[in-house]
Amino acid sequence: MEIRELKVDGAYEITPKQFTDPRGTFFEAYKASAFEEVVGHRLELAQTNSSVSSAGVLRGIHFAQLPPSQAKYVWCPRGALLDVVVDIRVGSPTYGQWDSVLLDDVDRRAIYVGEGLGHAFCSLEVGSTAVYMCSTQYAPGREHGIHPLDPEIGIEWPTTDRAGNPMELLLSDKDSAAPTLEEVAEQGLLPTAQEAADFYASLR
Catalytic residues: 62, 132
Give the DSSP per-residue string, 33-83.
Answer: HHHHHHHSS-----EEEEEEE-TTBEEEEEEE-TTT---EEEEEEESEEEE
Are 68 and 136 a contacting pair, CB within 8 Å? yes
**HSE-CB of 79 using CA atoms within 13 angstroms:** 22
Instruction: Report phi then psi at 44, rounded to 5.
Output: -80, 110
Are 68 and 139 a contacting pair, CB within 8 Å? no
CA 26 to chain centre: 24
- What DSSP state is assigned to residue 170? B
* CA neighbor of 113 nearest in space, from 170, 197, 43, 202: 43
Contacts of residue 87, defined as CB under 8 A and 6 or more positions apart, other chains included, come to 8, 9, 94, 95, 96, 97, 98, 117, 118
